[in-house]
Amino acid sequence: MWFMRQAGRSLPEYRRVRADVPMLEACARPDMITEITMQPVRRYDTDAAIFFSDIVVPLKAIGIDLDIKPGVGPVVDDPIRDADGIKRLRDLEPGDIPYVTEAVGQLVGELGDKPLIGFAGAPFTLASYLIEGGPSKNHEHTKALMYGEPELWDELMRRLANITLGFLRTQIEAGASAVQLFDSWVGALSAEDYRASVLPYTSWIFGQLTEYEVPRIHFGVGTGELLSLLSEAGADVVGVDWRVPLDKAAQRVQPGTALQGNLDPATLFAPWEVVADRTRDILSRGRAADGHIFNLGHGVLPSTDPTMLERLTAFVHEETAN
């Protein structure tokens, strides 16, 4: 078990380290990456560490003018909506992100037998930030490009797939034991649109990673209707948010696919008895899958009490000890 966003704003030690340090600067300092990644492992004794970074780090590294604004998220100064803009997206080279290689090496040394999970943002989610200029509820500019200019969309997604692959490869070659591909916004699409306009690029990324023989996790939010396609893309593990019970999700993914999830992060604000009951139910339903990694159905909420996550980690370990 591990938690998405287990290293982050819910931890007082994280807030102390990040005080007055902008997010993208923190993501480019190996010492800070290592410390923040290790904080929840020390506090919670999770079974894995997740590399501290952000999905837009590789875009920043190739020269895209963007920033992460507190309370907003990634904001792109000059959104990409035409062929000239897409030409700005060059391939990512290991030399663009030496701090990633250094930090992964440090972490592998500190973690010992405990695995480090690398991660990257998937092409659709990166495309949405680049096209919209920031977070979007409706993704209207993104969908307009996808629907109306398929050749331009193909070029954009190919370039982003290459960038994503480069980011994942750098982490794996530096020592990451597994990788997770986040497609945070892909739940905004229908299954038909996903199959036509996203699946080919995600499948290509997972196919390119087979040579490394590391577990590959795929996760999106609001993707209950897309679980079969997320699995078809080629991941070994499919993350499930809290909207679909794991036993139902197990029926939707490809045979041999493990599941990850899926406690609603908001549950952690309820009394402990509720958290324990819901966790038992998830562990029970997870037995229907070909493997289960316990996690939340999305990231740890910033105001979550860390002691609740400590208690939850111990509880899951106790319940699954035999």
Q: What's the rounded Cα separation, in Å, for the pair 87 and 301?
A: 37
Say whether 184 counts as a known binding-site residue. yes
8 is known to lie in a ligand binding site:
yes
Query: Which are the catalytic amino acids?
Result: 5, 9, 18, 54, 129
Check whether 9 is labelled as a binding-site residue: yes
Say what the pLDDT of residue 317 is: 98
Query: What's this model's pTM, rounded to 2 decimal places?
Result: 0.97
Cα 234 from Cα 230, distance rounded (Å) = 8
* Helix/strand/coil (H/E/C) assignment for every residue in the chain: CCCCCCCCCCCHHHHHHHCCCCHHHHCCCHHHHHHHHHHHHHHHCCCCEECCCCCCHHHHHCCCCEEEECCCEEEECCCCCCHHHHCCCCCCCHHHCHHHHHHHHHHHHHHCCCCEEEEEECHHHHHHHHHHCCCCCCCHHHHHHHHHCHHHHHHHHHHHHHHHHHHHHHHHHHCCCEEEEEECCHHHCCHHHHHHHCHHHHHHHHHHHHHHCCCEEEEECCCHHHHHHHHHCCCCEEECCCCCCHHHHHHHCCCCCEEEEEECHHHHHCCHHHHHHHHHHHHHHHCCCCCEEEEECCCCCCCCCHHHHHHHHHHHHHHCCC
Question: Quick one: pLDDT at residue 259?
Answer: 98
Residue 121 has which token pair? 């943002």
298 among annotated binding-site residues: yes
The pLDDT value recorded for residue 162 is 98
Q: For residue 57, give the nearest of 42, 68, 69 by alpha carbon.
A: 68
Whether 254 has a binding-site annotation, put simply, is no
Amino acid, single-letter form, for residue 250: A
Annotated binding residue at 285? no
pLDDT at position 71 is 85
Give the angle subtended at the CA of 71 by the CAs of 16 and 27, to the nearest 5°.
Answer: 50
The token duo for 165 is: 């692959």
**Residue-level pLDDT, tens digit, the chain, 322 residues:** 999 999 999 999 999 999 999 999 999 999 999 999 999 999 999 999 999 999 999 999 999 999 999 889 999 999 999 999 999 999 999 999 999 999 999 999 999 999 999 999 999 999 999 999 999 999 999 999 999 999 999 999 999 999 999 999 999 999 999 999 999 999 999 999 999 999 999 999 999 999 999 999 999 999 999 999 999 999 999 999 999 999 999 999 999 999 999 999 999 999 999 999 999 999 999 999 999 999 999 999 999 999 999 999 999 999 999 7
Please indicate if the annotation marks 317 as binding a ligand.
no
Question: What is the amino acid identity at position 244?
Answer: V
Whole-number Å distance between alpha carbons of 55 and 23: 12
Rounded Cα distance between 57 and 203, Å, is 22
pLDDT score, position 322: 74
